[in-house]
A and B are shown apart, each in its own frame.
Chain A
Amino acid sequence: MGFDVFPPAFVLLIAAALIGLVRGHARTAVILIAPLLTLWAIWQIPDGVQSTVKFLSYNIEPVEGSPLRRLFATVFAIMVFVGGLYSFRIAKWYELAAAFAYAAGAIGVCFAGDLITLFLYWEMMAIFSTIVVWCGGTPGARAAGIRYAIMHLLGGVILKVGIEGVVVGTGSIQIQAMLATDFSTWMILIGILINAAAPPVSAWLSDAYPESSPTGSVFLSAFTTKTAVLALILLFPGEPILIGLGLFMVMYGIIYALLENDVRRILAYSIVNQVGFMVVAVGIGTEMALNGAAAHAFAHIVYKALLFMSAGVVIYRTGKNKCIELGGLFRTMPVTAVCGIIGALAISSFPLTSGFTTKSMISQAAVDGNLMWVYMALTAASAGVFLHAGIKFPWFVFFQRDSGLRPKDAPWNMSLAMILFAGLCILLGVFPELLYALLPYPVNYEPYSIGKVLFYLQLLLFSGLAFFVLLPLMKRTMTISLDTDWLWRRVAFSLLKLVEKVLDFMGELLAQQRHRLQQFMHRMAVRYLGQPHTADSKERGMFARSWPIGTTALWIAGLLSAYVLLYYF
């Protein structure tokens, strides 16, 4: 037993503790150096199980390497570095510490060689991400954090039930590909899908993320859903139900984002949309599809964090987060606007961005599997992504009408973080081989052919035309959109109120009856035993009256004769 290699997750955990212990420049150094050390540690892990620890009767494998696991861990570590750079000057230290521990959980999941380790890191993510949500600091963040925690702890319990079932059923705690065929595997699948924001509980994501701080949402956008995608790739490749589920998520994200007014909530819905693409890919399950899911997860983390950073700068500088209140910010925030637009183009999979080189692999996998409807739905969704995130986000924030706001552009560290990620979006779009080399399976795919580029340009540019033609239909309203969480935030709540009312009524009824009984007993007592006041002239209680002596003697005589008679017989 023992650790032959140092688990990379521990680097970030130690850093999370250090962030609380040191201050000033030392803290900044920890924030910036720890992710790089983690990245180094990640690339020290060779393929295969690296160490085993005996726990109860199980062989725990805390660190297992594979190209897929390293890929996800790599992008997580890069994310922590850039996220740390973005937030170290304005975020509270406890938010950063929680974010680092949260990322440590995500990286731990990446290298978990068995289901027990996976579960431990999984719960660690749930706990520390809740703290990041709470760091939003508003009453709304507090309430949303509680709902978020309940959802994830519930998901954890379901996952644990499934893991126990599988361990008892197969005797193995190994992470291996399975299909949802019986109760336990279904439980594992549901537990993972809750973290992936799959229906019917997608609402937790758009509920919690926009309530966190401008820096917190950057971290939140990256880890939870993408570890769920990794877990799906490891455990359920080729599970057919995921195709339908993923397509639903894709469309759900677009429709809800179109209805939304809150800038970060638009981005949150588009996380569900993008994760939907990956879930579809896992459902297809071929090598091309899994490559596509992994590559898309990598690219998605980068451009989604970039979009959240851009939105975060706007909220940090203006204090406003509604499309209605924003607009025209390109005048004074050129860096933020350009980086936001690059992120928006990447998420829309414009040619020469990372979205194009990764998302098209998933479409290609659908074509290879002869899944015409899936391919057509994904293509329509690509157009829809451009509509709801690619144009809508930059348009309403940076252009639209002039809101009169003239905020300063981002501070240097935030600009640098955004420029780094914007550069990465374009780098992976122009030189996709860099990412393809890291994918789990050999890549035999040419992203750029002139015909395909032309097809996507037609598709996307005419979606853009649709956006501007249909703008009158997309007037922003100061509204939220009901989701399934209405069931527990409203219906369950009112049921609870109803139960409370019924109990109240029963309690009142009981109190009334008790009062009446009390009055009755009182009346009886007064009637037979006397009156409280003896000085008045009223007749006394039955047993308190002065009876005539003759009557008493008669009673005694009667009783004595009865006694004698009884004795005699």
Chain B
Amino acid sequence: MNTDEKQLHWLVRPSTIRKLWIGFIIVLALVVAAQTMVYIKGYFGFDAWFGFGAVYGFVSCLIMVLVAKLLGFVLKRPENYYDQPFAGPDVETKNDTVKEDGHGV
């Protein structure tokens, strides 16, 4: 561990984060693998398929994030949208473009 890393809180050191990812992936694999031993009672047939919960959770989140992203192009406005004087329904003020911050993550 070099000195740069020591200055960081232990939780945000890259080495810790890598370990957390590995741990997380092991847990993910385990909850799917556990289905070989634990019977999940499906209510409608297909929801008892192997790994259905995992796939369904991931895919529905993917769809929701994509829908939100697409809607965002239409719906997002700058924060002061309702505060600034309004020129007319067809006039886009120059503040109306949305900028993403570069360091979101």
Q: Which chain B residues border A464 with CB–CB below 8 Å? A: 24
Q: Which of B53, B68, B89 contacts A455 (CB 8 A)?
A: B53
Interface 0/1 of B11-44, CB less than 8 Å to A: 1100000000000100110011011001111011
Contact among B38, B47, B61, B68 for A454, CB-based, below 8 A: B38
**Complex CA distance for A449 and B65, rounded to whole angstroms:** 31
Task: State whether A466 touches B76 (Cβ < 8 A).
Answer: no
> Which residues from chain B contact A474 at a C-beta distance below 8 Å?
65, 104
24 contacts between A and B (CB under 8 A): A255-B67, A258-B64, A258-B65, A259-B72, A375-B44, A454-B34, A454-B38, A455-B40, A457-B31, A458-B53, A459-B56, A461-B27, A461-B57, A462-B53, A463-B61, A466-B58, A472-B104, A475-B105, A477-B99, A477-B100, A479-B79, A480-B81, A480-B82, A482-B77
Chain B contacts for A494, CB-based, 8 A: 86, 88-89
B49-103 with Cβ < 8 A to chain A: 51-58, 60-62, 64-69, 71-72, 74-79, 81-82, 86, 88-89, 98-101, 103
CB < 8 Å: which of A328, A380, A454, A461 contacts B56?
A380
A401 at the interface (CB under 8 A from B): yes
Is the Cβ of A402 less than 8 Å from the Cβ of B40?
no
On whether the beta carbons of A401 and B76 are closer than 8 Å, the reply is: no
* B62 touching A466, Cβ below 8 Å: yes
B6 interface residue (CB < 8 Å to A): no
CB-CB under 8 A from B60, the residues of chain A are 379-380, 383-384, 463
Enumerate chain A residues within 8 angstroms of B39, measured Cβ to Cβ. 451
Query: Which listed residue, A258, A383, A491, touches B57 by the CB 8 Å rule?
Result: A383
Taking CB as reference atom, which chain A residue is nearest B81?
A: A480
Q: Is A254 on the interface with B (CB-CB < 8 A)? A: yes
Contact B105 A454, beta carbon cutoff 8 Å: no
Interface string of A359-401 (1 = CB under 8 A from B): 0000000010000100110011001100100000000000111
The answer on a CB contact under 8 Å between A476 and B104 is yes
B101 near A458 with CB under 8 A, answer: no
Inter-chain contact B65/A477, CB cutoff 8 Å: no
CA distance A343 to B102 in the complex (A): 30
Instruction: Select from chain B the residue with minimum beta-carbon distance to A324.
Output: B101
5 nearest A-B pairs in the assembled complex, by CB-CB distance:
A458-B53, A475-B104, A466-B61, A380-B60, A459-B57
Tell whether A489 is near chain B: CB-to-CB under 8 Å: yes
Q: Are B78 and A479 in contact (CB under 8 A)?
A: yes
- The answer to whether A401 touches B103 (Cβ under 8 A) is yes
User: Which of the residues A255, A450, A475, A481 comes within 8 Å of B77, measured between beta carbons?
Assistant: A481
Question: Considering residues A375, A458, A491, which has the most beta carbons from chain B within 10 angstroms of its beta carbon?
Answer: A458
| Other-chain residue from B27, B32, B40, B77 in contact with A451 (beta carbon distance below 8 A) | B40
In the complex, are the beta carbons of B62 and A458 less than 8 A apart? no
Give the bracket for the number of chain A residues in contact with chain B: 35 or more
Known: A400-B105, A481-B77, A482-B75. A454 touches B64 (CB 8 A): no
Contact A493/B86 with A449-B41, A466-B58, A479-B78 known, Cβ cut-off 8 Å: yes
A residues 469-492 with Cβ under 8 Å of B? Answer: 470-483, 489-491
Q: A251, A400, A454 — which one has the most chain B CB atoms within 10 A of its CB?
A: A454
* B79/A480 in contact, CB under 8 A: yes
Q: Is A93 part of the contact surface with B, judged by Cβ < 8 Å?
A: no
Given contacts A380-B56, A477-B100, A480-B77, contact A458 B64 (CB under 8 A): no
Q: Do the beta carbons of B104 and A462 come within 8 Å of each other? A: no
Task: Check A330–B11 contact: CB distance below 8 A.
Answer: yes
In the complex, A158→B2 CA distance in Å? 68
Q: A380-B64, A493-B86 are in contact. List 16 more A-B contacts (CB 8 A).
A: A330-B11, A375-B43, A384-B61, A451-B39, A451-B41, A456-B53, A458-B51, A459-B54, A462-B28, A465-B58, A472-B104, A474-B65, A475-B100, A477-B98, A479-B78, A480-B81
The reply on A163 being an interface residue by CB < 8 A is no
Find the B residue at minimum CB distance from A363: B43
Q: Cα distance A450–B75 when bound, in Å? A: 42
CB distance from B104 to the nearest CB of A (A): 3
When the two chains form their complex, are residues B71 and A259 in contact, meaning their CB atoms are under 8 A apart?
A: yes
With both chains docked as a complex, state the minimum distance between the C-beta of A488 and any C-beta of chain B, in angstroms. 11
Chain A residues within 8 Å of B41, by CB: 449, 451-452
Partner of B105, one of A328, A456, A472, A482: A472
On whether A460 and B57 interact (CB within 8 A), knowing A259-B75, A480-B79, the answer reads yes
User: Is the Cβ of B69 less than 8 Å from the Cβ of A473?
Assistant: yes
A331: CB under 8 A from chain B?
yes
User: With the chains together, A493 CA to B40 CA distance in Å?
Assistant: 55
| Alpha-carbon gap, A57 to B39, bound state (A) | 62
- Contact in complex: A470, B40 (CB < 8 Å): no
Please give, as numbers and ranges, the residues of chain B lying within 8 Å of A186 by CB-CB distance: none
A497 part of interface (Cβ distance < 8 Å): yes
User: B66 — which chain A residues lie within 8 A by C-beta?
Assistant: 473
Q: B27, B40, B75: which contacts A481 (Cβ < 8 A)?
A: B75
Q: Are A254 and B64 in contact (CB under 8 A)?
A: yes
Contact between B77 and A462 (Cβ–Cβ < 8 Å)?
Answer: no
For chain A residues 398-424, which have a beta carbon within 8 Å of chain B? 399-402
Contact of B40 among A384, A454, A465 (CB under 8 A): A454
